[in-house]
Amino acid sequence: MNTPEHVFALFIEANPVADPDQLDVATESEGEIVHDVERDVLTEKRRPVNGRGGVSLQRGWKPAMVAASVVLLVGVIGLGALVFNATRSGPVAAESAVMEVFFDGEACTYTGPTELLPGNGVMEFERAPGTEPVVLYVHTIVGDDVGMDELLDWAATHPARAIPPWLGRNGSVLLEDGATSMRLPFEFTEGRYGVSCNTSPNGTDRVFVGAILSVTPG
Amino acid sequence: MADPTTRFDLVYDRHYRDVLAYCMRRTEPADARAAANRVMEIAWRKLDDLPSGDETLPWLYGVARKVLGHHWRGIRRRRRLENELRAQRGRTQVDPGQVVVMREELEHVLEASALLNDRDREILRLAGWEGLSHRQIADILGCSVATVDQRFHRAKRRLAEKYDTVTLARTLRRVVGLDNPGGAR
């Protein structure tokens, strides 16, 4: 048998990117998204963007572009209103809402209405067989300026066991050992809620954001 | 203290390649670039939380780990199961002018690592490929150094076991002619 040290030495040698300095970080030849930093002319604040360098507004073009944007915006709003009115179903009563959350080991997927009326609902939580122990959390979101971006950023950066001040824990259910599904009864009052799946026994190792639910009086 | 723009530029210049390399070791090149971009976006928005000095890069690795877990989860999982070895080989050709001939035992060790669970594989990568200390790995994984010591020791042992299994399987396949390109199909 090979010793662990010998095999680990081979593993180190097999590093597919042994020297990061060899990486070409400037090319966009294969259509890949590369990092760039553009100057935002409106705020004069430098910020990173994705994509092919983003769109840089030139001052001479600004008035024309603003005018075109206004026309386009009006059109989009009008079209959006038509579509919205044609398809809008409105908030669903929490008592009758079918809310399901599924964790497959890599994603926390919420299926169900995202707009609810206040009331007592039940969330069905299921995980794929063989996945690690996982907790379903329903957090109250405090603050109107917190959206999906903030939740995703939190999930990507939060240190273990740190819950941001704009999240309150309201309900949770743990799937571990042989359990693959459970139900979480929950009282939805007016406000917004973040739904997430958190792995590890204490539920704070990795956060997988599922959805934001909005509860309004109707 | 440097203004935010200058600080971000420094972080970007010093660490973007390392973050990109981290991502490229774990996913397809195109996804890796997008993931690395996302990491730098988050670094920009979370600049106040970004630790300085030696702690910066592990922090970025920690973000990259979670970004890869979130944004490429479904695709990544399928690709990983289907193509991990092929992708690993492809990623060795970082320099197109250089033909990398991978030694058989390196193929075996990569195949063996693909058989490990995610946690074992990640701790081996962080230690072996990113060259991080156990303290830094503990920060990334959100556990104690003692836990990292223990997990690392076990992961190395499991890798060696898988390596022996892979080597034996390859040998047997060769003996019975399954790996012979000229053999019967």
Is-contact A151 A195, C-beta < 8 A?
no
B129-139 per-position pLDDT tens digit: 999 999 999 88
Mean per-residue pLDDT over chain A, rounded: 72
Tell me, yes or no, whether B127 lies in a domain.
Answer: yes
Domain for residue B95, yes or no?
no
Size of interface A-B (CB pairs under 8 A): 149
If asked whether residues B145 and B115 sit together in one domain, one would say: yes
Helix (H) / strand (E) containing A177: none
**pLDDT score of B166:** 92
Domain ranges for chain A, please list them: 92-215
Q: Which residue, chain included where needed, has tokens 């994509």?
A: A51
| Chain position carrying tokens 């047997």 | B172
Question: For chain B, what percent of residues have pLDDT higher than 90?
Answer: 38
What's the CA gap between B126 and B133, in Å, rounded? 9
Q: How far is Cα B6 from Cα B41, in angstroms, rounded to an integer? A: 15
Is residue B117 in a domain? Answer: yes
Same domain, B65 and B120: no
pLDDT digits (tens, 9 = 90+) for B90-103: 554 444 333 344 67
CATH of the domain at B155: 1.10.10.10
Contacts of A15 in chain B (CB under 8 A): 25, 128-129
User: Which of B17, B10, B97, B159 shows the shortest CA–CA distance to A1?
Assistant: B159
pLDDT of residue A61: 38
Percentage of chain A exceeding pLDDT 70: 65
- Domain contains B170: yes
For residues B77 and B140, state if they share a domain.
no
User: CATH number of the domain that B7 lies in?
Assistant: 1.10.1740
Query: Residue B131's domain spans which residues?
Result: 103-185
| B48 confidence band (pLDDT: 50, 70, 90) | confident
Among B38, B61, B90, the domain-final residue is B90
A72-99 per-position pLDDT tens digit: 555 555 555 544 444 446 899 998 888 9
Q: Do both B50 and B81 map to the same domain?
A: yes
Question: Looking at the whole model, is its pTM more than 0.90?
Answer: no
Q: Which of residues 1-60 of B touch A (CB under 8 A)?
A: 5, 8-9, 12, 16-18, 20-21, 24-25, 29-30, 33-34, 36-38, 40-42, 44-46, 49
Is the same domain home to B110 and B182? yes
Whether B174 is covered by a domain: the verdict is: yes
**Residue of A3, A7, A205 lying closest to B109 (CB–CB):** A7
| A92-215 fold | Immunoglobulin-like (2.60.40)
Q: How high is the pLDDT of residue A74? A: 54
Query: CA of A172: how far to CAs of A9, A109, B135, in Å?
Result: 43, 16, 31
Domain count, chain B: 2
Predicted complex: ipTM over 0.85: no
Of A21, A47, A106, A148, which to mutate for an interface test with B (greatest number of B Cβ within 10 Å)? A106
Of the listed ranges A27-36, A95-104, A121-130, the one predicted with least confidence: A27-36
Question: What is the number of other CB atoms lying within 10 angstroms of the CB of residue A77?
Answer: 11
